[in-house]
Chains A and B, each alone.
Chain A
Amino acid sequence: MTGRWDRFGLAALAFALLALALPLAGGENPLAWTGRPAGLAVLLAVGGVGALVAWKGVPGTAAALAVLATVFLGALMAMKLMDGGVAGNASWGFWSYIFALWALTWRGIARIAAYRSMVNERQQMANFFVPAFFGLWLLFLWQMVCLGFGVPGVLLPPPSAIFIKLIGSLDILWEDFVQTFMKAVISGYVIGCGAGFVVAILVDRVPFLKRGLLPLGNMVSALPIVGVAPIMVMWFGFDWQSKAAVVVIMTFFPMLVNTVTGLSAAGALELDLMRSYGSGYWQSLFKLRLQAAMPFIFNALKINSTLALIGAIVAEFFGTPTVGMGFRISTEVGRMNVDMVWAEIFVAALAGSTFYGVTAMMERAVTFWHPSYRTKR
């Protein structure tokens, strides 16, 4: 690295200098920074760190953390400036400043992402830090773009507005969560996956079903959910049962198809071995074939964990009692309360990824022996 200029560091330096020379907000004078001593100090700090990075690169983890700390301070300053009159008419100077921060963030994060430690805890901390800081940075950018350009809240509310709305309507969000996730998604998921599994065993046991049922199953799995949902509402009523029915339809076939495939995953030698013991169908099934099928079964469980939530939310667009995540999204969009829609989306994303994460953790525990998870102990 020595002797070569760091290009991103140079970019940070150049943008910081530009920021210094250009107006912050619409009508302001160039060099308006001189009127804001705190702002000027932070800008000079960003510029100084930019110059150092341009000259030396980011030599180590400690340097990267120092760079990112500067970025953090700089970001706080930007938010303060936003409140101090920049909001809605940010100008070239302000955007150059944000760009300088971006270049420094890039450099700092890249260094930490390359961090390798033999100590497990340290490595895990680094592994957590990179996406966490990157996520915060994206939120910051979102906030800056929304406020700086004065984007109307109906089009895209800033994260701060969504957060305030989220905190303020926890009770409604909780009720919606219970209605959609705890009732419709969970019960639909359990019934759908369970039925898919049981039918897969049946299909395996009764050969003609494999030829007769599976092709039909593929056809049914192609049914559009928007077509099925209103019919389920007619059959099972407005409450969560009809949404659970949609989830059952959506999750049944991935489970069926994956389990059937998984049941033929056991190798010829392993099957011959069971045969040589004079083992019957059920013993071979439980001691060998289901075990070998586990990676496939968990694949279906993971696919279904996200499908189930989508299914339940979309199904609520076609008629619900006045509660539920899908219901809330469709009505609040109509009432232009887009921040509430985003709050629901956030809850849905959180619930969906937690559901997926728990399933993936169970998978690791059950299929620890699979080559992709093995550890030499």
Chain B
Amino acid sequence: MADAQERIASTAGLESSRRHVVDIEGLKLTFQTADGPVFALTDINLKVDEGDFVSFIGPSGCGKTTLLRVIADLEQPTEGSIMVNGVSPHEARMARSYGYIFQAPALYPWRTIERNVTLPLEVIGMAKAERLERARRYLKLVNLAGFEKKYPWQLSGGMQQRASIARALCVDPELLLMDEPFGALDEIVRDHLNEQLLQLWRQTEKTVVFVTHSIPEAVFLSTRIIVMSPRPGRIIDIIDCGFPPDRTLDIRETPEFQEVAHRVREGLRAGHGDDD
């Protein structure tokens, strides 16, 4: 535990040259329930730099989704400080500085794909011509050109999730927050979307915070992996992995990849050690 804390401190110190898109210090979040307080997050210190692809990985109940929701101002921390894009999460939300992608596509079934993508732009109050132009651009980016007039329920699960990514991108946010976006999809579709996401990240140079419980997914996509552990939810390890940006899925067979994956697995096992 103390070892992990030290490493966190050193990592934070090393990379202060770039701008911090997310800056969290001493964050705690406690839910008050009928059975007493639940410590969802304790002592979270984390800095995410511009252009990073950071994954939160951990067993269910470790607070990885809660932490993402705190960044998105969908949950309020009990203690500690958090800055998103240099301002408070609330201000960041009102400035539409992030795009949030949920576990499910959450497309509105009464809107066509095009109008689903333009939904956030409508909320902002953007002019119609520009809305449509952006929808076309981002649907093309996620390989959904030609599906503008379809309804979500006429598309496969993978296509729906790609549409929801286009919807998150179309406000051109600094930060993409992705909460197990491919968790409900089958392995093959998931691999395919992982490659596409990597490509998208390279093209757009967005900062991504990604929640997953799949080790290969985290290692393949990330520049840094945050290993978390439950009861209380906390960060137990931060692992840098700098695979070449033009990597393909084949990299998963290499010893270097296996080594990082092994370290993540060890971390997860250590976090689990006390209760079973």
**A interface with B by C-beta (< 8 Å):** 267, 269-270, 272-279, 283, 287-288, 291, 294, 367-371, 374, 376-377
Contacts and interface: CB of A to CB of B under 8 A. Distances in A.
B57 interface: no
Contact of B154 (A267, A277, A287, A377): A377
Interface residues of B, number: 26
B109 A369 contact: yes
Nearest to A276: B100
Contacts of A277: 96, 119-120, 123-124, 171
Interface string B96-115: 10111011101011100000
B122 interface: yes
Interface string B65-108: 00000001010000000000000000001111011101110101
A104 to B, nearest CB: 45
B106 A287 contact: no
B110 A273 contact: no
Contact of B74 (A272, A367, A377): A272
13 contacts: A267-B106, A272-B74, A273-B102, A275-B93, A276-B98, A278-B93, A287-B108, A287-B119, A288-B108, A291-B110, A367-B110, A369-B109, A369-B151
A269 B154 contact: no
A277 B96 CA distance: 6
A207 B174 CA distance: 36
B120 A374 contact: no
A278 B109 CA distance: 21
B243 interface: no
Contacts of A287: 108, 119, 122-123
Interface in B196-213: none
Contact of A276 (B74, B110, B124): B74
Contacts of B99: 276
Given A287-B123, A377-B154, A276 B72 contact: yes
Contacts of A276: 72, 74, 93, 98-100
A328 B93 CA distance: 65
A97 B127 CA distance: 75
A371 B110 CA distance: 11
Contact of A278 (B110, B122, B123): B123
A272 B100 contact: yes
A155 B272 CA distance: 82
A270 B108 contact: yes
B197 to A, nearest CB: 19
Contacts of B151: 369, 377
